[in-house]
Structure 1
Amino acid sequence: MPREDIAFQTSDNVTLRGWFFTPEAPSTTPLPCLVISHGFTAVKEMLLDVIATRFTSSLPISCLVYDHRGFGSSDTLPSAPRQEIIPALQCSDISDAITYAQSREDVNKGKIAIWGTALSGGHALRVGAVDRRVKAVLSQVPVVNGWENALRLSQPGSAAVLNHLFQEDRLARAAGKPAGIIPVVETNPLAPSALSLPEAHQWLGKFGKNTSWKNEVTIRTMEEFRGYDPSAHIHRISPTPLLITVAEDDVLMPVDLALVAYAKALEPKELQIVPGAHFGVFGPAFEATIERQIDFLKRTLYA
């Protein structure tokens, strides 16, 4: 599929970089656009090209793929550290990506959808609730409640350790020292890391190889994650159509939390449950997942 390197500015003047995919056959009219963003610390080379290509080869649609600020090929503010996730800023950047898409003559400004996975699956819920330009929301194995999610992922007794890390990092940064970092994944289950499950280590290690992905994230990211609750807004997505995909054995972004959030959403909404664990949506469950997402877009953007 044709792919163009792109760059656009956020509302606070950060340059984000990515790709713009279009179907093989040129279109004489502006096409709908799907804005695609990756999950926790992942960069666009970690299968987002495969996903965008699948959408553009199956539908008359364009796909805007980009790296989050401070990750991959995207910049961040001069005063901000790289490898740091502030959910509110990432959500704002999705809206800025929509604005960039709307500025293009080859995009149908009234037919823009958003796609997110894991952490950005939570962002899709948040942005879909507050940005009324969004005409369809696709949220895959999402983070829906950071506090509960963090509790599930934490080791016994780790709360006090984390609280101490948060305090010391804030004091250090206030004193002008560099932001503290921890590994995203760690083979030692007793060592501090953001994602302690072996499946996360395996997937990120496999698909992050030979990319710009780094096995580090700021300590503040973990404090921000714990306070993030996109499910608080899920009932406000309506009347925008919503599709949530969950994996029945997901313990990284626990499936029961996602089901509770889905129950709070208003119509029109759809739930897809696929077999397997969290990263199965990029593996054994990929075909079932993306075919349902393609069908969902057919029925919502082209009606």
Structure 2
Amino acid sequence: MGKSLNNVPQAPLDVQFDSHGMKCSAYLYRPATEATTPIIVMAHGLGGTRRMRLTAFAERFVAEGYACLVFDYRYFGDSEGQPRQLLDIKSQLEDWKAAVAYARSLDKIDPNRVVIWGTSFGGGHVLATAADDNRLAAVISQCPFTDGFSSSMAMNPITTLKLTGLALKDKIGSMFGAKPVMVPLAAPTGHTALMNAPDAYSGYLALMPSGSNIPNYVAARFVLDIIRYYPGRKTSRIQAPVLFCVCDTDSVAPSKTTLRHASHTPNHEIKHYADGHFEIYVGEAFERVVRDQIDFLKRIVPVK
């Protein structure tokens, strides 16, 4: 009998862990077993929260016998932090390290079989995290942000100028205690937003749970940090096996750049999908990618 029949997912626990004096909220999924298991630590991308389709992936993984810790970054979702919707790269990388440390501390979890899974901006974060943590068992990087310059160049130049102006206003205002200047995460083409490609707005809305009111904006100062973030440059230092799930028509994280950085990873696999950046979370595209990810997990970090 296969593991997927023996490990009917239990309802996740709502847990918290500390990250630099603040609490990050997370769902902790455990398979129905008394045995010690691997665990997959998961988080979203640009402004995303655990409620935006990450639970769909976690439910599939836990059905195969893997525990999952699905967390919200500080300043987002159910985690602590003020001001809200502050996307700070340094803080998010700290949250990843704190989440991994917490996962390793849990009972009935093998601390040497921790996998990290990130998507979009989180797909870049897992690369940066893995470069600094040689104990990780594996990495799954889905439609990852790898290169600040390439992603910035994917934006319309006029949009980039508008966003930069708002970012400067927000940054300067923050020095004097002003309220954050917010910018939309996703908007229709022609509107000012961090993501406004033709597939961005409808794709982003498709990730939202029915009836949710998850904010579709972040503090504008983040724009000043995008161009300086290059997690793909750290791939040569990653010792764990990495699965790159690449959307060939990605409008947010250009696939050509991702593939270039992936090629420098010592132990890597690449799966290609003829889907856009947002399609991979739902429908048939979701089924394809989660099937490939489970195959990778079973081969690299099998449940004993």
TM-score (norm 1): 0.91
Query: Per-residue deviation at 1:107?
Result: 0.8
Residue equivalent to 1:32: 38
Residue equivalent to 2:4: none
Which of residues 5, 9, 13 in structure 1 aligns to 2:21? Answer: 13
Query: Per-residue deviation at 1:216?
Result: 1.0
Alignment partners' CA distance in 2, 1:45 and 1:262: 28
Aligned residues of 1:33 and 1:62 also touching (Cα < 8 A):
yes
Aligned residues of 2:187 and 2:193 also touching (Cα < 8 A):
yes
Residue equivalent to 1:192: 192
Which of residues 80, 83, 88 in structure 2 aligns to 1:86? Answer: 88
2:73 maps to 1:68: yes
Residue equivalent to 1:111: 113
Corresponding letter in the other structure for 1:69: R
Query: How many aligned positions are there?
Result: 292
Provide, for residues 260-291 of structure 1, a one-character-per-residue CA deviation record: whole Å limited to 9, x for no partner: 1112222x210110121112211332122111
Residue equivalent to 2:276: 277
Which of residues 35, 43, 47 in structure 1 aligns to 2:53? Answer: 47
Alignment partners' CA distance in 2, 1:281 and 1:64: 21
Query: Per-residue deviation at 1:37?
Result: 0.5
Partner of 1:134: helix, strand, or coil? coil
2:172 maps to 1:146: no
Alignment partners' CA distance in 1, 2:160 and 2:183: 15
Alignment partners' CA distance in 1, 2:300 and 2:248: 25
Query: Per-residue deviation at 1:211?
Result: 2.5
Instruction: For 1:151-170, list aligned pairs within 5 A.
Output: 151-153=153-155, 155-170=156-171
Gaps of 5+ in 1: none
Corresponding letter in the other structure for 2:22: V
Aligned residues of 1:72 and 1:212 also touching (Cα < 8 A):
no
Alignment partners' CA distance in 1, 2:69 and 2:270: 24
Query: Per-residue deviation at 1:109?
Result: 0.9
Query: Per-residue deviation at 1:126?
Result: 0.5
Alignment partners' CA distance in 2, 1:175 and 1:167: 13
Corresponding letter in the other structure for 1:223: L
Partner of 2:157: helix, strand, or coil? coil
Provide, for residues 150-209 of structure 1, a one-character-per-residue CA deviation record: whole Å limited to 9, x for no partner: 1112x234444333333322221112111211111223x333211112322112223325
Query: Per-residue deviation at 1:103?
Result: 1.3
Corresponding letter in the other structure for 2:211: N
Query: Per-residue deviation at 1:56?
Result: 0.9
Query: Per-residue deviation at 1:84?
Result: 1.5
Aligned residues of 1:55 and 1:61 also touching (Cα < 8 A):
yes
Alignment partners' CA distance in 1, 2:126 and 2:279: 20
Alignment partners' CA distance in 2, 1:68 and 1:167: 24
Aligned residues of 1:41 and 1:213 also touching (Cα < 8 A):
no
Partner of 1:198: helix, strand, or coil? coil
Aligned residues of 1:85 and 1:224 also touching (Cα < 8 A):
no
Residue equivalent to 2:62: 56
Corresponding letter in the other structure for 1:26: T
2:118 maps to 1:129: no
Partner of 1:69: helix, strand, or coil? coil
Provide, for residues 243-270 of structure 1, a one-character-per-residue CA deviation record: whole Å limited to 9, x for no partner: 101011112211111111112222x210
Distance 1:159 1:51, change over 3 A: closer
Instruction: For 1:127-276, list aligned pairs within 5 A.
Output: 127-153=129-155, 155-187=156-188, 189-208=189-208, 209-238=210-239, 240-266=240-266, 268-276=267-275
